[in-house]
Amino acid sequence: MFTGIVTDIGEVIDLELRGDLKARIKTRYDTNTIDGGASIACDGVCLTVIEIGPDWFDVEISAETVSKTNIGLNKWFVGKRINLERALKLGDELGGHIVSGHVDGVAKITHMADEGDSTRITIQAPADLAKFIATKGSVTLNGTSLTVNEVAGDTFGVNLIPHTKQVTTWGDSKTGDALNLEIDTLARYVARLAEYQNKI
């Protein structure tokens, strides 16, 4: 489990395609505290650490994961910056919302506009996921917990303050970018309950 509060910006420093995709990610985390088999959210995708170095860790990404996330659409490349978050430990502060690291689909940035020091971003969600996104609800995009400002059909808006752009990769974003989208778990269960009640 994660919270959607990014704690490091990693950098892809090596990629190797050998059936699955193996990626080496440079990090500022103290890798002495990372165990083999640990889960780290990489741009919102929960990945398992398979090898550790002094300032890097390796993950193996299945073809299924590549095809269902923006790893395939944005084509991870050497030098790419990605949002990182280590898994929650008992007693950690829950600063964002409960995030599983299981990407539900890929959304797309359709519009960006600066408003003062902040940036307003309009995002198009996959049609089958739009019903789970609500005004003032939570959503996870590229591993970042964000509050939804408004919803119109299959599009919704978020606002990025300067701090968020500095401590995540959102400062690199541009129109047309594909985003890993994870809907709020609570929204999923509320929708499922409503669906069940309508049948009885």
Other C-beta atoms lying within 10 Å of the C-beta of residue 14:
12
Q: Does the pLDDT of residue 123 top 80, yes or no?
A: yes
Question: What are 12's strand-pairing partners?
Answer: 25
Take residue 170 and report the two structure tokens written for it: 């959102």
Co-location of 81 and 40 in the same domain: yes
What is the pTM assigned to this prediction?
Answer: 0.91
pLDDT interval class at 18 (50, 70, 90): confident
Co-location of 59 and 112 in the same domain: no
In the three-class reduction of DSSP (H, G, I as helix; E, B as strand; rest coil), residue 64 is classed as: helix
76 part of a folded domain: yes
118 part of a folded domain: yes
pLDDT score at 186: 75
Domain with 125 in it: 105-199
Supply φ then ψ for residue 143, to 5 degrees: 80, 5
pLDDT score at 192: 64
1 part of a folded domain: no
On the CB side of 112, CA atoms within 13 Å amount to 14
70 part of a folded domain: yes
CB 182 within 8 A of CB 44: yes
Range with lowest mean pLDDT among 10-14, 35-39, 93-97, 130-134? 93-97
What is the CATH number for 136?
2.40.30.20
